[in-house]
Amino acid sequence: MTLLRIDGLSAAYGPVPALRNVGLSLGEGETLGVVGANGAGKSTLTLAIAGIVRPSSGDIFFDGMSLAGLLPETIARLGVALVPEGRHIFEGLTVEENLLIGLNGAVGRQARRDALERIYDAFPILRQRRTGFGTRLSGGEQQQLAIARALLMNPRLLILDEPSLGLAPIMVDKVYKILRDLRQQGVALLLVEQNPARIAEVADRTVVLANGAVRLSGASADVLSSDLLSRAYLGAEEHEVCA
Amino acid sequence: MTFAIQTLIDAISVGALYAISALGIGLLFGIMRLVNFAQSEFVTVGVYTLMMLANAWFPLAALAAVVVVVLLALTVERLAFRPVRNADPATLLIASFAVSYFLQNGLVLLFGARPIGFDVLPGLGQAIQVETVRIPLLNIVTIAATSTLLLGVGLFLRLTRTGIEMRAAAVDFRMARLMGVKADRVIAVGFGLAGIMSAVVSILYAAQTGTASPAMGLQLALVGFVATVIGGMGNLPGAVLGGLAVGAISVLLQAVLPPDLRVFREAFVYAAVIAVLLLRPQGLFRSAAERERV
Ligand SMILES: Nc1ncnc2c1ncn2[C@@H]1O[C@H](COP(=O)(O)OP(=O)(O)OP(=O)(O)O)[C@@H](O)[C@H]1O
Ligand SMILES: [Mg+2]
C-alpha cells in the first residue's frame, strides 16, 4: 500500500528553481533516504510535502489523497510530521510544553497524560528536564525533544531533515538508534541527510537529489556503494537506477 | 519623599496601561509579523462607545465597550488582514495603517473631529490620603485593573492548551502549524485578546482623559510598538516589561526634567529606543539562556 506518492513535483523560490520534476514513492512502514549536496533541494522537498512550500507543478498524494492546496496544519493532522532542519524548539516554552503542542490528537486529560508518560519512558532525559526551557537542552537532547514531540502527533509518516546535523558522534548514535527503533515499530520514515554515511542503517531505499532533481535511486546499499554516487552528488544529467 | 511616592504610583499606573498595549501589539507581531497600528482605533472606538453610553449604568457601558471592541478586532482580522496574511511584513504594515486611517476617519465622519468631553465614573476623581501622600482613586483602580488583566492573560497563556499554543505560535508560527496548530484559530484568539485588552485600556484611558477624540489611541499604539521593540520582538514578558519601562521612564522624566526640557520628553524616550535597536537589537529582556543553542 503506497503511503506517499510524489509525481512530477517542481518548486521554485521566485526565479530560483529548487525542485525539478521530482518523483518518488514510499510504502506503509517503509523507510526512504534522501541525500544530496548543499542546496540540492532536500529541505524544499520536505517543506513541499508538509504544505509550507507551494509547488509550481506536480502532485503529492498521501494515503491516496492529494495534498494540493491543504494547509500545513491540515496535513499535520492527517498524520504527516516534519522534524525540520534546525529542530525549531519553541523558545520560552518548557520541555513539557513543547511536547504538549504535539498532542493535538489525544482527547481527554487521561489520554494526554498516558501519551506523555509513554514518551517520557522512551526519552528519560526529557522527563528529567521537563520543567526547564526546551532551548536550554544540549543539541542532542533538543533533537530528541524534536523527535519526541513529532511522535506525539501520532504520525503515519515521519519526515526528518538532517537529524544528525551538528551533533557529536555519540549523539548521532543515539538518534540513529531511535530511528531504527521507529522503523522496527513500523513508522514510515523519510530521512534526509546531507552525509549519506549512515543512511543505510535506517533506509530501505535511497534517492539522491542534485540541483533539485532525482539523479540516482534504488536500494540503499546499492546506491551508497555505487560508483555513480559521487557523480550524482555533483549533478550528473541523467537519472540512474541501481538495479 | 511624598513627591517620590506619588510619582512612583503615577509611573506604575501609566506603565501598566502601556504594558497592556504592548502585550496586544507584541502578541500579534509574534504570531503574524503584523505591527497592528489599528490597535489605536480599537482603543478609540472603545472610548466612543463609552461616550455614547455615558449616561448608562457603568458596568453595562463597560461590557458594551468590551463587546464592541472585540467584535471590531475580529472583523478587522477577517476583512482586512486575512486576505494579506501571507504577504511580507511591509505589506501588512501598510494594511494596518490603512485600517487605522479608515477607522479614524470613520469616527470623524460620525462624530466630528473635535474632542467630546464626558465623564466615566466621576467618583474616581477623588483621592485617598495616606499620611502625607495623596493617591488618586483612579490610579488605584488603574493599577488594580491592569494587574488583574495581566495576571489573567498570563495564566491563560501559561495554563491553558490554547494559551500554550499561542505562545508557541508567537515564537515560531510556522513550526506551530507544522505541529497541527490551526493558524485561523490562533490568529482569531490573538485578535480577540488584543480586543479585550484594548477595551480595558479604553475604559481606563477614558476615565483619565474624560474626552473622546478620533486620534487619541495613536500614542498608546506607538508606545506599545516601542515597548515591543525594547522587550524583544515576539517576547511577550519582554513586551510587558518594555511597556512598564517606557511608561515609568516618561513619567519620571516629566517629574525630574527642568520645565523647559519637558516638552522634549518623548524625544528622550524615542532616543532610548534607537539606542536599544542599535545596541541590543534582540531586545533588552531576552536572556542569553533562553536563546536557541546551536
Ligand atoms: N527561502 C528561500 N528563498 C530563496 N531561495 C531558497 C530558499 N530556501 C532555499 N532556497 C534555494 O533553493 C535551493 C534548494 O535549497 P534547499 O534548502 O532545499 O537545499 P538542501 O538540499 O536542503 O540544502 P542543505 O543541505 O544546505 O540543507 C538552493 O539553491 C537554495 O539556495
Ligand atoms: Mg536542507
What pLDDT score was predicted for residue A243?
Answer: 58
CATH for A23:
3.40.50.300
The tally of CA atoms less than 13 A away on the side-chain side of residue A116 is 20
Structure confidence at residue A101 as a pLDDT band (50, 70, 90)? very high
Asked, for residue A16, whether it belongs to a domain, the answer is yes
What band does A3 get if pLDDT is binned at 50, 70 and 90? Answer: very high
Total Cβ atoms within 10 A of residue A105: 15
How many independent structural domains does chain A possess?
1
The pLDDT score that the predictor gives to residue B286 is 60
Instruction: Classify residue A137: in a domain, yes or no.
Output: no
Cα–Cα distance measured from residue B149 to residue A159, given in angstroms and rounded to the nearest whole number: 41
Interface check for A77 against chain B (CB to CB < 8 A): the answer is yes
Mutational pocket test of ligand 1: of A16, A53, A195, the residue with most ligand atoms within 8 Å of the beta carbon: A16
Question: At residue B205, does pLDDT exceed 60?
Answer: yes
The pLDDT tens digits for A154-164 are: 999 999 999 99
Q: Which residues of B touch A148 (CB under 8 A)?
A: none
pLDDT of residue B126: 85
Contact yes or no for B291 and A135 at CB 8 A: yes
Complex-level ipTM = 0.93
What domain range is B181 assigned to?
A: 2-225
Domain presence at residue B196:
yes
State yes or no: pLDDT of B218 exceeds 50: yes
Structural domain includes residue B122? yes
As for how many domains chain B has, the answer is 1
Specify the pLDDT at position A161.
97
Q: Best residue in B175, B185, B286 to probe A by mutation, most A CBs within 10 Å?
A: B175
Average pLDDT, chain A: 92
Residue A159: closest CA among chain B residues belongs to which residue? Answer: B178
Using a CB–CB cutoff of 8 Å, tell me whether A81 touches chain B. yes
Which residues, 6 or more positions from B281, have their beta carbon under 8 angstroms from its beta carbon?
Answer: none
Q: Is position B114 within any domain?
A: yes
Does residue A15 form part of some domain? yes
Please, what's the b/e burial string for A123-137 (b: 16 or more CB within 10 A of its CB; e: otherwise)? bebbeebbeebbbbb
- Relative to beta strand B133-136, strand B127-130 is antiparallel
Q: Average the pLDDT over each of A166-170, B126-130, B218-222, B286-290 and give the range with the smallest value.
A: B286-290
CA separation for the pair A90, A105 (Å, rounded): 20
Residue B97 Cα to ligand 2 midpoint, Å, equals 37
**Residue A192: which domain range?**
2-91+156-241
- Taking any CB pair shorter than 8 Å as contact, residues of chain B touching chain A are 161, 164-165, 167-168, 171-172, 174-183, 235-237, 289-294
- Write down the pLDDT at residue A237: 63
Residue B294: pLDDT above 50?
Answer: no
Q: Which residues of A touch B167 (CB under 8 A)?
A: 90, 92-93, 97
Indicate the DSSP class of residue A202: T
Residue A104 lies in a domain: no
Query: B139: which residues sit within 8 A by CB, 6+ positions away?
Result: B9, B10, B12, B13
Take atom 3 of ligand 1 and give the residue whose Cα is closest.
A13
Q: How far is B160 from chain A (nearest CA, A)?
A: 11
Tens-digit pLDDT profile for residues B130-151: 888 888 889 899 999 999 999 9
Q: What is d(CA A190, CA A183) in angstroms, rounded to the nearest whole number?
A: 11
Is residue A63, in this structure, part of any structural domain at all?
A: yes
Q: E strand or H helix at B227, and its extent? A: helix B218-231
Indicate the pairing of strand A57-62 with strand A16-27: unpaired
Instruction: Read off the pLDDT band of B68 (50, 70, 90).
Output: very high
Q: How many residues are listed for chain B in this entry?
A: 294
Residue A40's pLDDT is what?
A: 94
Element holding A210 (H helix, E strand): strand A205-210
Q: With 0-12 CB in 10 A as exposed, 13-18 as middle and 19+ as buried, what is A215?
A: buried
Q: A165 in contact with B at a CB cutoff of 8 Å?
A: no
Note whether residue B49 is domain-resident: yes
**A42 Cα: distance to centroid of ligand 2 (angstroms):** 5
Q: Alpha helices, DSSP H only, in A11-135?
A: 42-49, 72-78, 95-101, 109-122, 124-128
In a domain, B282, yes or no: no
